[in-house]
Amino acid sequence: MRIDPTTAAGIDSPIGAALALAAERDPARDAEHPLLDLSQAAPPYAPAPEVTERVVEVARDPGGAGYAPVPGLPPLRRAIAGELSGDYAGTVTPDDVVVTAGCNQAFVVVADALAGPGDEVISPLPYYFNHDMWLRMRGVTPVHLEPDEHLVPRAADAEALITPRTRAIVLVTPGNPSGVVVPPAEIVAFAELARRHGIALIVDETYRSFRDTTAPPHPLFADPDWRSTVVSLHSYSKDLALPGYRVGAVVAAPELNRQILKLLDCVAICAPRIGQEAALAGLTRAGAWRADRVAEIARRRTWLGAALADRPGGFEIVSLGAFFAWVRHPFDGRPTLDVVRELVLEHDTLVIPGTAFLPDDRRMLRVSVGRVDEPAAATLAQRLTTAGSRVAAGH
């Protein structure tokens, strides 16, 4: 058979590549040097008891395994719309919400509804690798926007990148891999830019709950005309510890959602019912648990930041937020993939190379804070010190 060359030209999953690299490690090392897996942004805790109880109820219900409506369960769409309206001091209705099988699916159906082969989408650096992968495999060209010195993308810099082929601008805030939060005023500037040019602003808000503030991430939903420009993407994988249940959401104009429903009907028909029921229970019954988990992730960030504050082994935190630290390694002139390989095989530490999020090698690593407790942070600092000793030794 013949494979589509555009798809074949896409990269393999960076997460899969990292796990494959870890599989090369000698398992005998675990006795004295357990693997410190800081690769994937997976919650370190189980779902809330209220969620688990609801999952059991649904599993026992004869109808619990049936199809859900393609746009999502109506009570869940109402709950999402209500929460966003409150958290953003704006107006989101259930008709604006389509439930998806995770935020990755939310992005791909939105991207497919907005752009096709030969079109362009502006994406700030560092990008989220699955966004870049999907666009390229669909024949859409990602146009990279360099951020400022604080890794904040600026609307003023994006305007020069817009061409007649531009269909959308994508923001991820807080960033994956950087953890950087785009300021609300800058998000507004991007929305105004997109509106002037008749293109979409896609805002991936997967990690919005893990900011250092409860203030609205942006004021866009307070604008009565937000639906003409804004598409907001959400995930409950981290917020409710449901990564395997695959629940996300698109928040957009009903006319765009109509196109999204066509795509969903051909891909998965609907997000899994049991996952939707789990998310509904989390949104409506587990408020205190959610607040505690946000505080827990903040503590984990603090432990990691403190452990790396003195640049052990020359490894330097460039940014730290939400679920991630964006770290520069000290091996100038050495491919980052080689550094990652050495870290896992010789120093029992698995991270993701920054080259998965960038078009070139800038000596960056993504470190997930999800599994970092205080002892793990100290272990990481010790291992990076050992790894960096080769720099001091001139290797």
Q: CA dihedral defined by 189, 195, 199, 205, rounded to 10 degrees?
A: 50
With 90 as the cut, is the pLDDT of residue 342 above it? yes
Amino acid at 188: V
| Residue-wise pLDDT tens digits, 29-84 | 888 899 999 998 889 999 999 999 999 999 999 988 999 999 999 999 999 999 99
Q: Which domain holds residue 324?
A: 5-45+289-390
Whether 108 and 129 share a structural domain: yes
pLDDT the model gives residue 19: 87
Shared domain for 219 and 119, answered yes or no, is yes
- Indicate the residue among 286, 305, 331 that finishes a domain: 286
Where do we find the tokens 């899969």? 16
> What per-residue confidence (pLDDT) applies to 30?
85
- The domain total for the chain is 2
Q: Quick one: 19 and 111 in the same domain?
A: no
Residue bearing tokens 């091996």: 331
pLDDT tens for each residue of 306-331: 999 999 999 999 999 999 999 999 99
Taking the model in full, what pTM does it have? Answer: 0.95
Tokens of residue 253, six digits: 């104009």
Query: Residues 40, 57: one domain?
Result: no
> CA dihedral defined by 78, 83, 89, 95, rounded to 10 degrees?
-20
Nearest residue to 53 (alpha-carbon basis) of 277, 252, 207: 277
Strand partners, 203: 171, 232
Domain boundary among 267, 286, 305: 286
* Distance separating alpha carbons of residues 79 and 134, to the nearest angstrom: 29
Same domain, 217 and 333: no
Determine contact, residues 318/358, Cβ cutoff 8 Å: no
CATH code at 314?
A: 3.90.1150.10
Q: Are residues 232 and 171 in the same domain?
A: yes
Query: Is 23 part of any domain?
Result: yes
**Cα 232 to Cα 243: distance, rounded to the nearest angstrom:** 19
pLDDT in tens, 374-387: 999 999 999 999 99
- What three-state secondary structure class fits 276? helix
